[in-house]
Amino acid sequence: MCGIVGYIGTRKAQPILLDGLHRLEYRGYDSSGVALVDATLAVTHASGRISELETKLGGTVPASTCGIAHTRWATHGPPTEANAHPHRDCTGRIAVVHNGIIENYAELRTELEARGHTFTSETDTETLAHLIEEAMKAGKGLTSAVQTALRRVRGTYGIAVVSADQPDKIVIARLGSPIVLGIGDDELFVASDASAIIGHTRDVIYLDDGEMAVLGREGHRVMSHDAKVVTKETTELDWSDEDAQKGGHPHFMLKEMLEQPEVIRNSMRGRLNVEEGTAVLGGLRDVAGRLRDIDRLVVVACGSAYYAGLVGEYMLEEYAGIPVEVELASEFRYRKPLLTKRTAVLAVSQSGETADTLAAVREAKMKGALTLGIVNAVGSTIARETDAGVYNHAGPEIGVASTKAFLSQCTVFALLSVFLGRQRQMSLSMGKRIAEEMRRLPDLVAGILEGRDAIRAIAERYAATTDAFFLGRKYCAPIAFEGALKLKEISYIHAEGYAAGEMKHGPIALIDATFPTVVLCPKDSVYEKTRSNIEEIRARGGKIVAVTTEGNEEAQRFSDDVIYIPKTLEMLTPILAAVPLQLFAYYVSTSKGIDPDKPRNLAKSVTVE
């Protein structure tokens, strides 16, 4: 969740490190710090945004060409300057930046304090600096000292370490928290996320768990934690620096919402065979036979990806005829999941690094299930560790609140439903009908986005509210959950998403004139049922914002505000219905003066449990 950046090369390190930190602010930003190394080690910390760190650093750029930096999302210890990374040892000549959690840090700290070490922070990370110091005192070089220290810790980590005693070296290591190595011309980069270094190189190496690397002036080498050399392939990133910039928009979230028509096209490109009424998913080619034989699919995901999975559940059960369960990945391995060789477990993750989802994949593999992924980040851990999968091709998503990745995930679930449905009982005519309608989606979404000013006006009228409900049935129930999550995430308004039929089972007690409800009520198979729920809310004085199908004029009579979406197949309606809820949350947030790209307490990718 925190961000790591490192550099060694021929250029001055500080500007490169600060640029990387700015690009990683979305991952966590309650404090930050930089360590520059040559014959000495210079460390600067600041709490708050990166701009605070820049102020402390001043206008002079040191000559150092090697350093590491970090932007922190607090786990152990509050977001103070003292707890900011990089952390140093007692001598002040070793610096460590760390993502993850050292689970046995308390006992290690007690042991180290008994040996005379003095701690200056409340973090778990600082124990690593002191463990490395102990090993170097015993005569080990930096690389060997890091290996020795890591053998003592339990937990997860992505780390970068420098020492003034070996100023031409950065040691990095990974276990459960992502680390990527970037390769340039006579220079090397380190990051927890490739977006930090895309402006300098597109050639990267992803470390796997249990691997470490040494970066020096002459190049790099990758090895296992027991020092065996590992040969790694270089991956070329399939997106550019321009993709990771705002492009003139006030926020990444708005830019990414406006990209959604093209994202849907990219998610479908080369994958829809309209004539055969099927989908061509090359990433599943090698397991197509096994997929034909599965009798159950379990989707594991967290956050918005979980809600995309719920949309997929409706699609797959109705059109592919496969029993589907959607599980919160954070709970999956703490149950006793009943998996067989005819079960497929499908992990959904934008980053491909979500800690709980990755743990669920590993649990499923241990039990012999076929593992699949729907992942946006090429080369990510989930993409590498699953048996097969489908890439979203959504491009980098920087905004913390997922928008374009969510729509892409729903689109991929529609493709998967056609693919698996045609393997089974879906007719050619039905397959063609779905495929033809999917081809219309980009233009339909573009139409909704073009009408965003009307949604802005509605959002501004509700910006002062403190509570809200989101209701939907069948395919739109997960979108109600997702809409409530969006509003919570970026406007800090208490919002709850419910399946509409559950309103009478308790939540309706909260309804009054100050408690608005956003109701997803397209003209679909459950419209009349949802219409009844609206009347129940109106009878208790509640305000209604209706999201319904174009041409539904009666919605003006039973709603205080109406947002129209185009008509499409019922199974594809969630993809359209999600867009106005994203815009609604965005404009509520901005009208309240909140930065929707950097909501408090949240980070884009949850890489620690």
pLDDT score at 80: 79
pLDDT digits (tens, 9 = 90+) for 48-70: 888 889 999 988 899 999 999 99
Question: Which residues, 6 or more positions from 408, have their beta carbon under 8 angstroms from its beta carbon?
Answer: 263, 264, 266, 267, 376, 392, 393, 394
pLDDT digits (tens, 9 = 90+) for 192-207: 888 889 889 989 999 9
pLDDT score at 431: 97
| pTM, two decimal places | 0.81
What residue type is assigned to position 148 of the chain?
T
Q: Which of 589, 591, 351, 354 is nearest to 488 (CA)?
A: 589
Task: Using the predicted structure, report yes or no on whether residue 301 has a pLDDT greater than 60.
Answer: yes
Say which residue the tokens 């003592």 belong to. Answer: 152
Q: Using CA atoms, how far apart are residues 94 and 163, in angstroms rounded to an integer?
A: 4
Packed helices 428-450 and 260-268: angle between N→C axes, nearest 10 degrees: 160
Q: Using CA atoms, how far apart are residues 572 and 167, in angstroms rounded to an integer?
A: 56
The pLDDT > 90 percentage for the chain reads: 75
Does the domain at residues 244-450 carry the CATH identifier 3.40.50.10490?
Answer: yes
Clarify whether 137 is annotated catalytic. no
* β-strand partners of 71: 3, 32
Choose the catalytic residue: 404, 486, 598, 604: 604
Where do the H-state alpha helices sit in 322-427?
Answer: 329-332, 355-366, 381-385, 404-423
Give CA separation, 176 vs 152, 155, 230, 352, 357, in Å: 16, 8, 18, 12, 11
Q: Using CA atoms, how far apart are residues 274 and 434, in angstroms rounded to an integer?
A: 9
Neighbours of 283 (CB within 10 A): 17
pLDDT score at 377: 84
| Overall average pLDDT of the 408-435 stretch | 96
pLDDT score at 333: 81
Question: Which residues, 6 or more positions from 232, have their beta carbon under 8 angstroms from its beta carbon?
Answer: 205, 206, 207, 222
Q: Where in the chain is the domain with CATH 3.40.50.10490?
A: 244-450, 452-594
Strands 517-520 and 561-565: unpaired
Q: Which of 376, 564, 406 is nearest to 485 (CA)?
A: 406
pLDDT score at 307: 98
Give CA separation, 322 vs 30, 137, 149, 198, 368, in Å: 45, 60, 48, 40, 19
| Overall average pLDDT of the 283-299 stretch | 94
Task: Using the predicted structure, report yes or no on whether residue 238 has a pLDDT greater than 80.
Answer: no
What one-character DSSP code corresponds to residue 539? T
For residue 583, report the phi and psi dihedrals to the nearest 5 degrees: -65, -40
Q: Where in the chain is the domain with CATH 3.60.20.10?
A: 3-237
For residue 69, report the phi and psi dihedrals to the nearest 5 degrees: -150, 165
- pLDDT confidence tier of residue 233, bands split at 50, 70 and 90: confident
Choose the catalytic residue: 2, 66, 410, 521: 2
Most confident of 37-51, 385-399, 554-568: 554-568
Q: Which of 592, 288, 597, 569 is nearest to 420 (CA)?
A: 288
Tell me the two tokens of residue 98: 């760390």
Clarify whether 2 is annotated catalytic. yes
| Overall average pLDDT of the 273-298 stretch | 94
Q: What is the 3-state secondary structure (H, E, C) of 429-470?
A: HHHHHHHHHHHHHHHHHHHHHHCHHHHHHHHHHCCCCCEEEE
pLDDT score at 101: 87
pLDDT score at 76: 56
pLDDT digits (tens, 9 = 90+) for 402-417: 999 999 999 999 999 9
| Overall average pLDDT of the 480-486 stretch | 98
pLDDT digits (tens, 9 = 90+) for 87-140: 999 999 999 999 888 999 999 999 999 999 999 998 899 999 999 999 999 999
> Considering only 230-234, 241-245, 419-423, which range has the smallest mean pLDDT?
241-245
Please give the CATH topology (third level) of the domain spanning 3-237: Glutamine Phosphoribosylpyrophosphate, subunit 1, domain 1 (3.60.20)
Strands 324-328 and 296-301: parallel
| Overall average pLDDT of the 561-573 stretch | 97
| Overall average pLDDT of the 222-229 stretch | 86
Pick the CATH number of 452-594 from 3.40.50.970, 3.40.718.10, 1.10.8.60, 3.40.50.10490: 3.40.50.10490
